[in-house]
Structure 1
């Protein structure tokens, strides 16, 4: 399913998105007509729209579009992308007419197997905006997969961990859940888990990983997923804290779309 501003999608409308790659989005998992953290997804879209286009986004229109995209039963992954079809590469300051593109696909079965990830030195452009500019992240993911890993984990030049390509990461040191303090995109799933489970936020370096007892990845599509290795440091594929966080997340009642 795909629609733009409530109507059919034309090739010409998508041209600027394909050729300029300027815009933002959010992805949500709709289960039986409900979305965990729906208000956070909508607020992200409104915040990023103001940051990229300088105008407010109609939250009611977004919810109506998501409602049309998701069936009342079953699980569906819905992506809402906001961009201006009239954007001129030479005059991006004039882009102030954002359109709402909504696409959907069947959601995958959960839980997924643990991730093995490789660190990569990279800090995303404008980390607080969920930008459609995915080139660098996918490039690092591709390189990691070609070398036998599942994904990439971003670190800065000092070895401080920030986030994965399309997910946040957390750790357990034996007594505390720790979210890395870093410039990153604060995911909706991470924010929901922060509210649902005791935690600390502090810098985490690659050099700190040998003392950690578990690691996990989070995003709206997969919920909570164990991380079984970062570079050469291994973690258990199953752990009580990962199960506890997954249960806490599953227990959050989603908002009706």
Structure 2
């Protein structure tokens, strides 16, 4: 049910989340609202992660378009939606300077999340990735803010090279290693996709855990990723895109030929009602 979690519940979730990163490989799917969070929890996943893109699209905004206060409220909603730990897609920390990142990370900790991801993308097309030294200081500031809170929240450092059209594996690894040194608990280079790339990142930051994004069809399975040493696997906005794909197909059939067969495969009304009533 959608209830305000207790401090004891939050501590337990954070402890469980840290334990998940200690060994093995787990899936951490990305809901975009309370309903999708509750459905994913019903399937037995052990943790959830927010998606900046999915949440923004649900509000009629582009990825990155949600302001800080709206994102914080969204995180509170996800934390209250289930009893699972939630990892926050906290974009670039909603600030360029380390001091701003620290201030905003402290606010994110207060939402009850169990993990916070910080990107090194700037949002500026002319200079899309923070300069190396500043990027490292931003991670160090996030770490200091978490430590100052006294809360057991994991920090995930993200190197956005591949997402930004800069597929330089050596630079991504250099950044991830520096983020690990600056206090990141888990490392993440969204966009790496081959066994060679994934294996190289895992080896480079060992023994710290690595998150891999699987947002597209792939020949790799969860077992394959586990064998490569990956600790956790997220899907970003892929579930939201899949939902949007179903909406688009059905709505286009309504709009153009006036047909209703786009509802084939739609979720059952009564099953959804029962899920949300529990």
TM-score above 0.5? no
Q: Which TM-score band (shorter chain)?
A: under 0.3
Q: TM-score, normalised by structure 2?
A: 0.26
TM score, norm. by length of structure 1: 0.28
Higher helix share: 2
